[in-house]
Amino acid sequence: MNEAALPKRKEGLARSWVRFRKNPLSMAGLVFLALITLAALLAPWIAPYPQDASLGVHFDKALSPPSREHLFGTDEAGRDIFSRLLFGARLSLMLAVIVLGISFSIGVPLGIIAGYYGGAVDEIIMRVTDVFSSIPALVMAMAVCVLLRPSLENSMIAIALVWWRSFCRLAYGETLSLKQEDFVTVSRALGSSSPYIMFREILPNMTSSLLVKLTLDAGYAILVGTSISYLGAGASPPTPEWGIMVAEGRHSLPGSWWASLFPGLAIFLTVLSFNLIGDGLRDFFDVKVE
């Protein structure tokens, strides 16, 4: 008997979890991300020197190497790098949530509308998307951010204003194939309105693709955000933003390597965990999302 023809087994949440847990790499990502999130939430309570994340400076302790008092050493203003990293985690995770939130709510509806209606609507929406897609996200987001005046908030807005294009393309592609399905035809025959079909019939059926994309893009958005800050177009000192911390630490290379090593490592590990989870989810749902 043909296996593909068998009805798919309904899977409860508990069973899915068992299946997902089998992937050790994704589990490692999930555990690390949970730790980072916890650290971000509890930063004011668990940071050994919480005042160092804002205005505190101790020039007498500048650039002291990692020790028991300062786990990751101190930076050029004598601030505890570990404490600043904990507070920085808030900013990076917030950036991912805000960027993805905005770009998801712009891109997905546009993509579904373009794919569902086709014709002139499709042409207009997708050609605009093409224009946005032909410039690397980092370049355009950086330009928009500087024009809005460099700041952490503006860098989030700028990235979101560029990022919607990839959600739009994904939703568009999915809609094109989903609208051929029988359940759409049936729903239409039953007299469902177009908005109902688009957002209650088609949208729920692309949940797994969107979930994988959201996970993978969270990492990439953090990479773009920290790069913008590193280049001086985003957050400004003394914000404990990870990209800025690397930028400030580079002046003390090669002697005081810890000032740029640890913030960069934090970015790398956070992005890696999102990628590990996203990669696992991609296998789990068996979808093709880049």
Partner 1 sequence: MYYLRRLLYMVFVVIGVSMLMFALVRVLPGDPIGLALGPNATKEDMEKMRHEMALDRPLHVQYAMYVREIFWNGKLGMSLIEKRDVMEVIKEKFPATLELVLVAMLLALIFSIPLGVTAAMNRGGGWDHFNRLLALFGVSFPHFWSGLMFQLIFGSLLALTPLTGRIGGSSPEDITGFFLLDSLLTLNGAAFKDSLVHVIGPAVILSLGPLANITRLIRANMIDESTKDYIMVNKATGMNELIVRYKYMLRNAFSSSLTTIGFLIPLMLGSAFVVEKVFAWPGMARFGADAIIANDFNGVVGVTLVICLAFVAVNLAIDILYEVLDPRIRVKR
What token pair was written down for 98?
């805000």
Indicate the residue type of 273.
S
The residue (of 134 and 180) whose beta carbon lies closer to partner 1 is 134
The residue (of 133 and 205) whose beta carbon lies closer to partner 1 is 133
- What is the closest distance, in whole angstroms, from the C-beta atom of residue 73 to partner 1 in the complex? 15
- What is the closest distance, in whole angstroms, from the C-beta atom of residue 135 to partner 1 in the complex? 6
Q: Which residues contact 170 (CB under 8 A, 6 or more apart)?
A: 107, 111, 206, 209, 210, 213, 289
SS3 282: helix
What token pair was written down for 268?
């790398």
The residue (of 12 and 254) whose beta carbon lies closer to partner 1 is 254
What token pair was written down for 52?
């160092």
Residues that bind partner 1 (CB under 8 A): 25, 127-128, 130-132, 134-140, 142-144, 146-149, 219, 223, 226-227, 230-233, 243, 246-247, 250, 253-254, 257, 260-261, 263-265, 267-268, 271-272, 275-276, 279, 290
- What is the closest distance, in whole angstroms, from the C-beta atom of residue 203 to partner 1 in the complex? 27
Element (H or E) spanning 268, and its range?
helix 258-285
The residue (of 89 and 247) whose beta carbon lies closer to partner 1 is 247
The residue (of 57 and 146) whose beta carbon lies closer to partner 1 is 146
Q: Which residues contact 197 (CB under 8 A, 6 or more apart)?
A: 116, 184, 187, 188
- What is the closest distance, in whole angstroms, from the C-beta atom of residue 241 to partner 1 in the complex? 12
Cα–Cα distance for residue pair 199/109, rounded to 1 Å: 8
- What is the closest distance, in whole angstroms, from the C-beta atom of residue 121 to partner 1 in the complex? 17
